Structure 1
Amino acid sequence: MQLASSGGRRLRHAALVARELALETGRTVTRKELSAAARDAAKALELRNGPRSVLSELVACWGEQEWERLLVWPSNDYLVSRTGLSERGIRKAFRVLIDQQLIVPKESPNGKRYAVKDLAGEIVDAFGFDLTPVYARRGEWAERLIEQKQAREARKRTFDEITIARRATQEALGSLSREYPDLDRSDLEDRLRGLLARTPLRSTKAMPIDILDEWKSLRSACEETYYKAGYAGTQCRHTNNNNKSPSEPCNKGFPKKAEAVRSTEQTPEHLSPELILEACPTLSDYGQPVRDLADIVSAGRYLRASLGAHESAWAEAVEDIGTVRAAIAVIYTLQLYEDDVARNGGESRIKNPGGYFRALTRMVKVGKIDLAVELLAMRRRRMS
């Protein structure tokens, strides 16, 4: 059988737990301090509008008395007029706040809320609600808010990785359809449609860790299919006009060599693959050794999809600044984005890496940016 208190309110276990919470000896609490603790509590517990509004009005009634308990005694009619809720909504909000151990009811003999005065007319006690738990648990609210922020950042990073994998997958399938239209890719396209249907929206609170693993697996499968199609199932790329010696080593491109480096395209001597590797460790995502400028070009063309940049952006960059500098611009932009994400706790100021890449190539074209200088500066920052 559930017992009832003297005022007629049903006794709740949460109220007994919250009653044990107390302020530090001699501690006085201002309305501003109590209000800040109440806001943190509402955020940490994700209170709905009704309980949040009632809690805010209860805090506003605190008269900053130098008592051991933080007692307030507003009537239901007052709270109805202040919050716009119905009386039934006010009672429901009280139940939520009591169950969350935010307030403790202090019942009077007749169930009313009122202040108790001495013979001089000074308020010495009151019957109503005790807000002491809200302030006494302020350390708990701070910890919960930090945990919630970390969870939001981890969730954002997960969705960012899903977006990158999705774009790369769609780019690989698009390249397959354009370059190898006779290749059967129905299984990969079915997997893509299934994943698109099952991937939750960013607006939900789901943590799509399993979905991320599936996206990475599908991306790997699509890129591997494109890679093998480009090499005709052999270790060497298939060509119809190979007039060179059969003992010549196989082509090192991955997935296949990008546009050839123009013989007239010269780069500064200090703009070497070694410098690019030291300044941009993101090249490790390429998955193949980088020994010369031809490998840099292949890596740039391969990593372009990771920026979400359209193939037309690559074509424009090659036309404007040359194949080598276009590839370096891709690698540099990708490294800037990843450094910004790491530095800002999972968020980047570069909201559209593909658009940033286009803007960067145009600035390089008109001489506003020197890629060699930027890479040297990036390497110095990384080594310092």
Structure 2
Amino acid sequence: MQLASSGGRRLRHAALAARKLALETGRTVTRKELSAAGREAEKALELRPTLRLVLSELVACWGEQAWDRLLVWPSNDYLESRTGLTERAIRFAIRALTDLQLIVPKDSPNGKRYAIKDLSGEIIDAFGFDLTPLYTRRGEWAALVLEQKQLRQMQKQAFDDVTICRRATEEALGALAQHFPSVDRSELEVRLQDLQGRTPKRSTRTLPSRLLEEWQSLRDHTEETFYEAGSGGIRFRHNKADNKSPSETCNNGFPKKAGAVLQAEQPLEHLSPAVIVEACPTLADFGQPIRDVPDLVRAGRFLRASLGAHESAWNEAVAEIGAVRASIAVIYVLQIYDDDVSSGGNRIKNPGGYFRALIRMVKAGKIDLEVELLAMRRRRMS
């Protein structure tokens, strides 16, 4: 059957399904409410720009009549002038909106769109488009938008976790190459290159399944290799008899770089290593006892990778506030981040960036690390 040139259209199943949707009895819909439903539908269905334009203009034509159907009757010429689209594009958009069950065409005998008036001139009905499905499905749009938001948040968190694992792995491999060059790193480096090649950019919508688990496994393996190399396979250091004079320093066994830094600065007045351990239980991740200031500096340097902070952040911190305060800042941020994750707050999205910001505030005198850690200890002990 040939379609009439005056606007006849083929019957579509989606139009019949959408026609069954109806407003609540006595419900009056305002243009503002209909516009809100339209915006939610655009986001939920991720409509193309052309469909958004046409749907927005159809919604704007609603005159807030007290009818049981939301009818509008703009001509194609009117829609062309409002949207700047061609008639062909408008016809395709109307067909797509019908297939999505957002609108229902209500055709007149001659295929034209117009209003029906009574003897007094009041509009009582119309032939055009029925927007009732768009409004009655507003709960569905809200649920889809919420689901998409949650999915985007999960994807963002997954990519953030991958970035943290990648940086920590690279830092651990760099530390192995610097301090223990005899340790074989070839397998770890091959796994790192393989994961980097299979990890998509953040612009992609989804992260391949189990990829994050592989990154976490590689990070754990690399850090464990570095730890075993540093402790000689022994979980804790042996206690040795100390027959030296109490006035002698305890820098034996530590890198010369750390010792040189410690000679030029003093620990905070009221913060002994024992106090810091009580305030920050996450120091247990270091795996070795914190007995003196050199231990504290070494722990800060080691745990910095756990924040996902780049080595440049550590170098900047040491240059700005010294190795001791930089180490205390690392431990402090790590504890705050751990408390935030444990409480479910998840307010700290980038602990490495938080560490950089903290260092600058400490240098500017806006934050006193000693006061903050003592307050943290009191809260934990109470």
How far residue 134 of structure 1 moved from its aligned partner, in angstroms, is 1.4
* Residues 317, 323 of structure 1: 8 Å contact kept: yes
User: Could you tell me which residue of structure 2 aligns to residue 98 of structure 1?
Assistant: 98
Matches within 5 A, 1:163-174: 163-174=163-174
Secondary structure of the structure 2 residue equivalent to 1:352: helix
Which runs of 5 or more residues in structure 2 are unaligned? 1-6, 243-252
Question: How far apart in 1 are the matches of 2:321 and 2:348?
Answer: 30
Question: How far apart in 2 are the matches of 1:315 and 1:37?
Answer: 53
Matches within 5 A, 1:112-191: 112-191=112-191
Question: How far apart in 2 are the matches of 1:151 and 1:349?
Answer: 19
How far residue 177 of structure 1 moved from its aligned partner, in angstroms, is 2.0
Cα gap change, 1:335/1:144 in structure 2, threshold over 3 Å: closer, same or farther? farther
Secondary structure of the structure 1 residue equivalent to 2:363: helix
User: Could you tell me which residue of structure 1 aligns to residue 3 of structure 2?
Assistant: none
User: Could you tell me which residue of structure 2 aligns to residue 250 of structure 1?
Assistant: none
> Please, which of 350, 373, 378 is the counterpart of residue 375 of structure 1?
373
How far residue 218 of structure 1 moved from its aligned partner, in angstroms, is 1.1
Question: How far apart in 2 are the matches of 1:89 and 1:382?
Answer: 66
* Residues 350, 356 of structure 1: 8 Å contact kept: no
Deviates more, 1:175-184 or 1:65-74: 175-184
How far residue 267 of structure 1 moved from its aligned partner, in angstroms, is 3.9
Question: How far apart in 2 are the matches of 1:331 and 1:234?
Answer: 24
Counterpart of 2:174, as a letter, is G
TM-score, normalised relative to structure 1: 0.81
Cα gap change, 1:99/1:377 in structure 2, threshold over 3 Å: closer, same or farther? farther
Secondary structure of the structure 2 residue equivalent to 1:126: strand
Secondary structure of the structure 1 residue equivalent to 2:210: helix
How far residue 230 of structure 1 moved from its aligned partner, in angstroms, is 2.2
Matches within 5 A, 1:2-13: 8-13=8-13
How far residue 95 of structure 1 moved from its aligned partner, in angstroms, is 2.5
* Residues 310, 352 of structure 2: 8 Å contact kept: no
How far residue 94 of structure 1 moved from its aligned partner, in angstroms, is 1.7
Question: How far apart in 1 are the matches of 2:278 and 2:98?
Answer: 60
How far residue 268 of structure 1 moved from its aligned partner, in angstroms, is 4.2
Question: How far apart in 1 are the matches of 2:53 and 2:45?
Answer: 14
How far residue 60 of structure 1 moved from its aligned partner, in angstroms, is 0.7
Quick one: percent identity of the two aligned structures?
A: 61
Listed one character per residue, the Cα deviations across residues 109-145 of structure 1 (whole Å, up to 9, x for unaligned) are: 2222221122222211111111111111222222222
User: Could you tell me which residue of structure 2 aligns to residue 67 of structure 1?
Assistant: 67
How far residue 309 of structure 1 moved from its aligned partner, in angstroms, is 3.4
Deviates more, 1:314-323 or 1:154-163: 314-323
* Residues 105, 129 of structure 2: 8 Å contact kept: yes
* Residues 104, 130 of structure 1: 8 Å contact kept: yes
User: Could you tell me which residue of structure 2 aligns to residue 22 of structure 1?
Assistant: 22
* Residues 23, 68 of structure 2: 8 Å contact kept: yes
Cα gap change, 1:339/1:145 in structure 2, threshold over 3 Å: closer, same or farther? farther
* Residues 118, 124 of structure 2: 8 Å contact kept: yes
Listed one character per residue, the Cα deviations across residues 236-294 of structure 1 (whole Å, up to 9, x for unaligned) are: 779xxx9x559xxxxxxxxx97846959844444656456554x45546x263656456
* Residues 334, 353 of structure 1: 8 Å contact kept: no
How far residue 45 of structure 1 moved from its aligned partner, in angstroms, is 1.3
* Residues 43, 145 of structure 2: 8 Å contact kept: yes
C-alpha RMSD of the superposition: 3.5
User: Could you tell me which residue of structure 2 aligns to residue 301 of structure 1?
Assistant: 301
Cα gap change, 1:232/1:348 in structure 2, threshold over 3 Å: closer, same or farther? closer
Listed one character per residue, the Cα deviations across residues 333-358 of structure 1 (whole Å, up to 9, x for unaligned) are: 23445666777656648782352254
User: Could you tell me which residue of structure 1 aligns to residue 249 of structure 2?
Assistant: none
User: Could you tell me which residue of structure 1 aligns to residue 326 of structure 2?
Assistant: 326
Aligned length: 362
How far residue 84 of structure 1 moved from its aligned partner, in angstroms, is 2.2
Question: How far apart in 2 are the matches of 1:93 and 1:334?
Answer: 53
